[in-house]
Amino acid sequence: MKFLLVCLGVIAIGLTFSHFRYGTSGFIGMAYGLGASTFNLVALWLAVRHFSRMMADQESPVWQTTGIVAAFFAKIPLFYIAGTFAQRHGSAAITCFLLGMLLVYSVLVGRVLTSS
């Protein structure tokens, strides 16, 4: 629960900073970056968790496996689409898109370092 609150705080700070520093296009780019990176991390986490359960000989429904694999493979086109949409809003949106990606992965590294 504490980690979720920290994540929400970091997202709010990132969106606020990008809006005040770069305007609306920066806000849109940051939102695209945060959304695409968060989807990527959730899909990766679900895939690793699901396949580790499969290796432990636990049964899982076919629809669940199909959905997780589809989400795992959809993340690359999602990054391309989000980056293209951000590019349409100008260079500030692309900068904030990349900063949003960096922010999500920095929070992930912080989580790993504090949990070990």
Residues of 38-62 as b/e, b for ≥16 C-beta within 10 angstroms? bbbeebeebbeebeeeeeeeeeeee
Residue 53 has pLDDT above 90, yes or no: no
Supply the pTM of this predicted model.
Answer: 0.85
Q: Domain segments of the chain: what residues?
A: 9-108
Neighbouring residues of 27: CB distance < 8 A, sequence distance ≥ 6: 15, 18, 19, 96
DSSP annotation of 6? H
pLDDT in tens, 55-105: 887 777 888 888 888 888 898 899 999 999 999 998 999 999 999 999 988
**Please, where are the H alpha helices in 23-90?**
24-55, 62-87
